[in-house]
Chains A and B, each alone.
Chain A
Amino acid sequence: MKVIAGILFAVFLLGVVTPTEAAPMEVEAMLILASNEPAPLDRRLERVDYLLRPVLRFETYRLLAQSSVILPDGASATVALEDGHVLYLQRGKKNRVEVTWQRGDTRLLSTGVGLERNKPTILGGVPQGEGRLIVTLMIK
């Protein structure tokens, strides 16, 4: 009987104190120029083009830079993109990430967002010529 009680107690403890530290996640960032100027489809954007079009409704999307970074739980990372654009990522609990988007020393946008697999996070609206700059964040 003591053995059974011990097993039950161990299982109870397992349920109560099991650490829920999240595994490292690989975040892929893309810097994209969206505009309404006619241009051929950028094949490098096939994975996100179909997601961007219904939401943003620009005519064309052109990939300017792409980079990936592995973010362990609680870690921070810097993602350098094209033309002085830099993303500072600070991972919080689970898949929550604080993102700061800068161009050179100018901060453009900061946010705290939860990243989810197969659900891109799109930061955008920064004017660039006749178009707008977009940054997509996705868990790989």
Chain B
Amino acid sequence: MKLEKQLEQLSRKRDGELRPHEAELGQGAEHAAELAEAERAWTEVGELLRNQAIPVPPAEVVWNNVRRELRQISGRRPERKVSVFDWNWGWLAASAIVLILLGFVGVRLMLPTTADAAIPRVEWVEAELPGSSAMVYEDEASGAVVIWLMTPEEGTVGEAGI
């Protein structure tokens, strides 16, 4: 096996990515000395990096930096002056048309259709009591509709004022 391939396997092994059967294939490596040297070098570099002190600024300093950055950003934002001439007249016209159409739709939903408006309150009546006939009366004052069965003895019973 080539040295580069073995180095790659070694690297993956250190990272825990090497599968068991690959580890078996890598045993008995031809370049044992080079591999040992590389592993030692990597270990040293790792330890060196781990031991290096990384300066961490105090939280107050970081917070001040954030606030300063925010101030600068807000200062950079240009003030936009609103003018009638800046309005998007196309959108305004479209919005007005939409509102007008919505109004029409609302009115259309609320009003009865022409066909419904033309139908009288009482469409049909069948007097099924033997010997009777029906009379329909709509009282304009109250809006009440009366469907009255007229029977032969109507004159003697009650004084229905219809």
Contacts and interface: CB of A to CB of B under 8 A. Distances in A.
A126 interface: yes
Interface string A119-139: 111111111001110000000
A127 B157 contact: yes
B145 interface: yes
Given A8-B97, A14-B105, A109-B129, A126 B149 contact: yes
Given A11-B98, A112-B123, A56 B128 contact: no
B82 interface: no
Nearest to B144: A120
B149 A55 contact: no
Contacts of B90: 1, 4
A122 B25 CA distance: 100
A119 B147 CA distance: 14
B66 to A, nearest CB: 39
Name B's interface SS. Answer: mixed
Given A54-B139, A54-B141, A113 B147 contact: yes
B144 A51 contact: yes
A135 B151 CA distance: 17
Interface residues of B, number: 48
B24 interface: no
Contacts of A114: 119-123
Interface residues of A, number: 45
Q: Which of A7, A18, A54, A111 has the most CB of B within 10 A?
A: A111
Interface of B: 90-91, 94, 97-98, 101-102, 104-105, 108-109, 112-113, 116, 119-129, 132, 134, 137, 139, 141-151, 153-154, 157-162
Interface of A: 1, 4, 7-8, 11-12, 14-15, 18, 20, 34-36, 51, 54-58, 93-94, 96, 106-114, 116, 118-127, 130-132
